[in-house]
Amino acid sequence: MRAALVWLLGPRQLLESWKLPLGPCFSPVVQMRPWWSPLFIVPALPPPPQFTGPSPCRFLPEPPSHGGRRASLCPTLHPADPEVKIQGQNKEMLAAACQMFLGKTEAEIAHIALETLEGHQRAIMAHMTVEEIYKDRQKFSEQVFKVASSDLVNMGISVVSYTLKDIHDDQDYLHSLGKARTAQVQKDARIGEAEAKRDAGIREAKAKQEKVSAQYLSEIEMAKAQRDYELKKAAYDIEVNTRRAQADLAYQLQVAKTKQQIEEQRVQVQVVERAQQVAVQEQEIARREKELEARVRKPAEAERYKLERLAEAEKSQLIMQAEAEAESVRMRGEAQAFAIGARARAEAEQMAKKAEAFQLYQEAAQLDMLLEKLPQVAEEISGPLTSANKITMVSSGSGAVGAAKVTGEVLDILSRLPESVERLTGISISQVNHKPLRTA
């Protein structure tokens, strides 16, 4: 077919024919080969979009009026937006669509599909009554979909969906059918309600009778049951009281046994606790002994050892020092003894010489000794005056006052010194001083 179109129209004319503006439902694209191989010029037709939304491909088929037939028996059908599309995925259906609708607009394609669906819809309506169409819409829609799809497939169009939204007529026939059905249903409902009330009254009376009989029988059975209950309860009470008394005795016995066991356990616990306390005390004693040994004994032993070493060292030092002092004392004593001996020998010689002098000079020698000691005597007499901080002189109103008085007093004491010496020694210094010296 494509080759025939190429030879009849030529490559350029075919291309221009295929480029007709078909809108969103059909827009072919042609791929060209060289002009000497026209058999390989193949149009690349992408899958056309589906007729959805407000596109021109969506329609509402409504059969036109045909006089009395439409007014009497033919209802008006309102499909719920039936949808059709050009099947672009199937190459055969796409080629058929190209053959059928090449050069046509979207409105023309939609009109063809509309005419097809309307024709099949009328044909199916001719074989069905209005009641069947009204009551079984699903069956009517399926038959229209099935019959119309076969013809539309041959045109390259597939039916996506077809459903009835509404059915009505101008003579209110369908509404009258509904009224009759409604009246019948209401009549059946009233009859059913009356029969139900009758049956309910009969059943209610029977139920009351059965209720009274059942109540009496129930009371009789309840009395019997109460009697049996009281008898069995008395027997059960005796048994229960007996068992309760036994249980109380058993409970008291068990309480006593339990207390005894608890006491034994408590005693054992106390024994264990005391044993543990003893063990803890022993461990504490051992710990304290170790601590005492570590903190006191060992330091004390170390200190004792240190003191012993120090005492031995000090002892050795003292011994050596004593030996040195003894040696020093011995040597000092020897030196002193030698010095004393030498001094004694010198004094003895001096005394011998003094004795010889005394024998030669006699009173003069004694006087010389006295004169030699007089300064010492004067010093001893005036010594207390040198240590006096304050001297208070009392005057009787005549004589000198002040330092002269003190000097006079001292000189007076010194002038009386020879008399004192004479009274003590029996030697008069003034007499010895006036006598001539006698020599041996």
The predicted structure's pLDDT at residue 178: 67
Q: Using CA atoms, how far apart are residues 29 and 88, in angstroms rounded to an integer? A: 13
CATH no. for 2-171: 3.30.479.30
The predicted structure's pLDDT at residue 428: 67
Quick one: three-class SS letters along 21-72? CCHHHCCCEEECCCCCCHHHCEEECCCCCECCCCCCCCCCCCCCCCCHHHHH
Task: For the beta carbon of residue 144, count every other beta carbon within 10 angstroms.
Answer: 25
The predicted structure's pLDDT at residue 315: 81
Report mean pLDDT in 10-residue bins for the chain, 440 residues.
Answer: 34 37 36 35 40 36 38 50 74 84 84 80 76 75 77 79 70 68 79 86 86 86 87 86 85 86 88 87 84 74 80 82 80 80 80 72 66 74 72 65 67 73 68 50
Q: Where are the domains of the chain?
A: 2-171, 353-381+407-440
Residue type (1 letter), 327: E
Do 65 and 144 touch, CB atoms closer than 8 A? no
pTM exceeds 0.95 for this model: no
Q: Using CA atoms, how far apart are residues 365 and 429, in angstroms rounded to an integer? A: 12
- Closest to 366 measured CA to CA, from 429, 419, 417: 429
Q: Using CA atoms, how far apart are residues 354 and 368, in angstroms rounded to an integer? A: 11
Do 45 and 96 touch, CB atoms closer than 8 A? no
Query: With the C-alpha atoms ordered 210, 215, 216, 217, is the resulting torsion angle positive or negative?
Result: positive
The predicted structure's pLDDT at residue 434: 52
Axis-axis angle for helices 417-425, 403-415 (nearest 10): 30
